[in-house]
Amino acid sequence: MSRVDTGIEVNTLDVRDIEGEPFGPIMAAVDELGADEILLLINHFEPVPLYDVLEQRGYACTTERVADDEWHIKITSQ
């Protein structure tokens, strides 16, 4: 966990090393996300199907491709 300059806590979840489907750990981390927190999800591909799930649950996200096999998805509550 770290803080950005605005004082918002950033919780990081790197799912690149998770064996099997990472959906469960991702959603567990999202469910624990506070209103003043950001979940930084690190993945080796863009998790397009996750976007609809997050939107339906009231979360917003921004995505940045930082390398050929590394994507950063910042998830916040709306």
Q: Look at the chain and report how many structural domains it folds into.
A: 1
Q: Show the domain range for 65.
A: 2-77
Reported as a single tens digit per residue, the pLDDT across 9-41 is 999 999 998 999 999 999 999 999 998 899 999
Q: What is the CATH number of the domain that holds 51?
A: 3.30.110
pTM, entire model = 0.88
* Spatial separation of the C-alpha atoms in residues 31 and 23, rounded to whole Å: 12
